[in-house]
Structure 1
């Protein structure tokens, strides 16, 4: 049995470098399309709400060209069934022991060895849900936040181009600053 922590056994998409690109107005429409597809695929598992919340959901914000979605579920008990079902539709499950985020279950949609969509499944009542949407909405309504975040993201992508965890973790201070404003 292979060691899931051995990066040499990971698929190509798992080690992609971080690439921040110019904003694409098609991202919002792509988010809507992916959300509708997932609602059709996952409604039988009790998922009734999915939100497009990442940087690609914020007009005029440079971002990694990956749509970030999050879905609510009442329990993680059906995650194995969900992962088997989604595997038929180009989705890959990243277990919590690799993701290091026990509050969510994480899936990556991969096309041509590239990440195109992330799905974060959270439990009903998880406070991160509200915080993610609040952060998104605050940025959507404040060009200064967008400009500051764009600079930060580009700098961090340059500094941590091969370390997604450090890139994500280092953005936390700015996210908290926005949430408290």
Structure 2
């Protein structure tokens, strides 16, 4: 399949878990270089992430796990969990927290990323979410540009520094 073809998007199943864990590990490794100390992985990060992905894949009522691919390879993934907003805000319902949204190739946000986001919106709404909150690293300008151009608005920024 040609890389310029739109990827297929499907609900992630047990057979996708290792590919999701590996893709997230590669992207998180990239993130670590930009904020060491903050993005440092836990010693058992892969095992913890594998367990988290497995829970989301198994329980379709509390979250969403999607994969994109062109052929058998996973070219992107999107994982969301539903939860309440902080109690000082009233968005009108649960939020979909998307903190695992990755593409294998940063140049593929408009292919795999777009296909995943397009499929996620109605599915998250059907689960009862009224808004989605997507995480992007402060250095990840390809992802930030994609999110902005996809109609998401910057709601917050986080800054970090070591203490001591």
- TM > 0.5: no
Structure holding more strand per residue: 2
Structure holding more helix per residue: 1
